[in-house]
Amino acid sequence: MAQLKTTRILAFWLVLCGFFVWDWTHSNPVNLRLESSIFALGSGQAPSGGHCASFGK
């Protein structure tokens, strides 16, 4: 039973990691020169990420 559960979790993470690797290789490369500051608070920049409560910016 425990072994079955471990196998199930392993399969789940393999699929998930596979998706993330695929995405990493197919997305635009990360431009480290445009890296955001460590904390948004005090950065002087408006947040630009997507959020469930917003339609988009």
Partner 1 sequence: MLKQRSGLLLALIVFTLFLLWFVSIRQSLLFVVGIGLGLVLAGMRFGFTTGWRHLIEQRDASGAYAQLLLLAIAAAISLPLLAAYPGELSAALGPPGVSLLVGAVVFGAAMQIADGCGSGTLYKAGLGIPLNMAILPMFALGSFLGSAHLGWWLDLGAMQPVSLLDSAGLTGALILTFAGLAAIAGLCYWWSKGSTVQRPVFSKGLMIGAVLLAILAVLNLVIAGQPWGIVYSFGLWGAKIAQATHLFDPSVNAFWSQPSNATALQQSIFLDVTSITSLGILAGALLIFAGKKDDRQAKLNTTQWIVGIIAGFLLGYSSRLAFGCNVGAMVSGISTGSLHGWIWVALAFIGSLAGVRIRKYYRY
Cβ 4 to partner 1 shortest distance, Å: 10
| Buried/exposed code over 27-45 (b: 16+ C-beta within 10 A; e: otherwise) | eeeeeeeeeeeeeeeeeee
Cβ 10 to partner 1 shortest distance, Å: 10
Cβ 27 to partner 1 shortest distance, Å: 4
Chain residues in the site for partner 1 (CB under 8 A): 1-2, 5-6, 8-9, 12-13, 16, 19-20, 23-24, 26-28, 30, 32, 35-57
Backbone angles phi, psi at 18, to 5 degrees: -60, -40
